[in-house]
Structures are given as structure tokens and as C-alpha cells.
Amino acid sequence: MKEVHVAVAVIWRDDRLLIARRPEHAHQGGLLEFPGGKVEPGETVGQALVREIAEETGLAVPLGSLQPVIGIRHDYGDKRVFLDVWQTSAATGVAEGREGQPVRWMRLDELRDHDFPAANRAILGALRLPDRYGITGPFRTPAEGATRLAQALATGAPPLVLLRAPWLEPGAYLELARQALELCSAAGSRLMLQGSPAVLASVPEAAGVHLPWREAVQLAERPVGRDKLLAVSCHNRDEVAHAATLAADFITLGPVQPTPSHPGAATLGWPSLAEQVQLAPMPVFALGGVGPGDLLKARAAGSQGIAGISYWW
């Protein structure tokens, strides 16, 4: 079955995005969707987006305002699609359903995964995730960890933080996790715990659990509910495929470049990262030797953003 290249538009106006309902008779009919449609032969994805947005909603979008969000390959059984998702906040005009479909400006927190086609889960996931994922760096004791975390958060809190301390005893890690939860919540950051799914069961207020590869490889299915985030550390395409089997909400992939925390480790480089991101059916954070200065490069490679220690710790 040939893959259909679909241009999908996330159109923002203030804090709302434009949502349409697919016609009942269409493929995935009756479900909600982002405006978009097939990329016609000879068209770039940008041209397809500008055309589809105008045809379906009456809005005008400047080509240069479109920014990549994520690319999702999905097999519906009766149809294989590559959803090429871009966003803009520069659309002008009054939105109307030009093809008879109802359209509505909705807040992100109003959108529920199951109202959309299955492939949209990753799109909504990407929109809900930030472009910076801060990982905690070296410290010795839980007390020192809490002090260092408070300092780091004060100098620029990443919206999503991973508490990484594989050298702590399980009890000490949980003690620190409870403190970290309070610190992060006061700083407006969400906290991910690192380790086995059991750590999340012990501190269920955390946003989710991030599995190191050595934990992920032991699992055959998603170990936590959909109300929590599941992340996996991946280093190559086989690991990305396994993370997909576990239905991970996002992954980190790297090291992209040499990094002080893992000296001598083999690096992927940006071109190889971009190739593997293409295959990943979930948002990917580029990890290893990257910081906010690499955000444009990371986004151009199709990833969600950057993850790292050295830039904030």
C-alpha cells in the first residue's frame, strides 16, 4: 500500500487552535482533525498547507510562518499515511468551514486524544510537550541534590525536568523525588522520575516515568496508564522501535554530540538523528552535547527539542 503524504496544519490564535470535524463518509469520518489534506504531485508541503488552509477554512497563511511540529507515519490498515505536521500563529481572516465541515477554535487542554484519529495522539503529545527537557546532573546525597535542584531551577527552570540519580539507593531516590516534586511544582516545572515503573507507583504525583534502556528492554508492553507520561532513553533505531512497542509518549535519542557527562561515547551526529527521528512515531528530544543554542537545528531535524544536563545544571 502506497503511503499518502498528508500536510497537517496546527493554526494557533492566542491560546486556541483551529479544529475541524471530518465528514462522516470520509476516511476516519466523524472524528476531529487539524485542517489539512494530501500533498499534490509537484507541491511542497508548505504549498500544500497554504492551499489546504485556504480551501478548507478561508484563512490566509504566509508560507514563511510555518514551523515544523512532527512527522508521523501511521498504518490504519486500510490506508498508510505520513502526517507532516506544521504550525503557524500568523493566519489572517475569519475561519469558516468552507467544505461544510464545522470548525472551532479550541484550547489545547480541551482536546481529548480519543476524539481524533489514532495517529493524532503523537501530534497532541508533541503540542503538550515543551521544547526543553532538563536532566539533573551530578550530586552526592539527596540533601545536596535538593539544594542543587533548587539553585538550577532558580536560574531558568526547564518546563519538564528529569530527576536522574542512578547512583542513589532506591529509598534515597524516593526521598529526593518527593522533595523534587515540591521544588519543581513551585517553579512551574513538571517532574519525570527515572528508573523502573515502580518508582512512579511510589511517587504517583510525578508527571511520569523515564525508563533507562536497561529497564525498557525488559518490558513487552506499556507499564503505566495513559494519565502518566512514559519516556524511554534510546540510542539507535532498534531501541526507537522497541519504545514504539511500549507506546512511549516521547523518547530521548543520542548522544548527538560529544558530552562531558559521557566522555568517549559514540555520537550520532545531526544527519543520523534526523533519519531516526523520521522513523519514530512519537516526539523525540535530541540529547547529548546540545543546549538551547541548538534548538533550531534540533527542530529542523524533526525533533521536539533538546534534552540535556550541562545547559542548566
What is the footprint of ligand 8DG within residues 177-216 (CB under 6 A)? Answer: none
Task: Measure Cα distances from 231 to 33, 96, 120, 299 in Å.
Answer: 25, 38, 18, 19
The least distance separating ligand 8DG from the CB of residue 4, rounded to whole angstroms, comes to 6
Sign of the CA dihedral 171, 176, 182, 185? negative
* Residue 28 binds to ligand 8DG (criterion: CB under 6 A): yes
* Residue 38 binds to ligand 8DG (criterion: CB under 6 A): yes
The runs of H, that is alpha helices, within 70-109 are none
Sign of the CA dihedral 76, 217, 299, 134? positive
* Residue 36 binds to ligand 8DG (criterion: CB under 6 A): yes
The least distance separating ligand 8DG from the CB of residue 31, rounded to whole angstroms, comes to 8
Which one of the spans 42-50, 116-124, 171-179, 189-197 is the region binding ligand 8DG (CB under 6 A)?
116-124
Nearer to ligand 8DG, 33 or 215 (CB): 33
* Residue 27 binds to ligand 8DG (criterion: CB under 6 A): yes
Residue 227: closest CA among 251, 199, 204, 203: 204
Asked, as a colleague might, if the bond just before 263 is cis with ω within 30 of 0, I would say no
The least distance separating ligand 8DG from the CB of residue 254, rounded to whole angstroms, comes to 29
Residues 6+ apart with CB under 8 A from 140: none
Choose which of 88, 120, 136, 304 interacts with ligand 8DG (CB under 6 A).
Answer: 120
C-alpha to C-alpha distance for 14 and 16, rounded to whole angstroms: 6
What is the footprint of ligand 8DG within residues 279-298 (CB under 6 A)? Answer: none
| C-alpha atoms less than 13 angstroms from C-alpha of 299 in its C-beta half-sphere | 15
| C-alpha atoms less than 13 angstroms from C-alpha of 252 in its C-beta half-sphere | 27
Burial status of residue 163 (CB atoms within 10 A of its CB: 0-12, 13-18, 19 or more): buried
* Residue 13 binds to ligand 8DG (criterion: CB under 6 A): no
Choose which of 37, 134, 145, 223 interacts with ligand 8DG (CB under 6 A).
Answer: 37
Nearer to ligand 8DG, 59 or 149 (CB): 59
Site track 68-107 with ligand 8DG (rule: CB under 6 A), x = hit: -----------x-x-x------------------------
Which one of the spans 22-30, 142-150, 196-204, 285-293 is the region binding ligand 8DG (CB under 6 A)?
22-30
Residue 207: closest CA among 196, 217, 194, 192: 192
The least distance separating ligand 8DG from the CB of residue 101, rounded to whole angstroms, comes to 10
* Binding residues for ligand 8DG (CB under 6 A): 6, 8, 26-28, 33-34, 36-38, 79, 81, 83, 117, 119-120
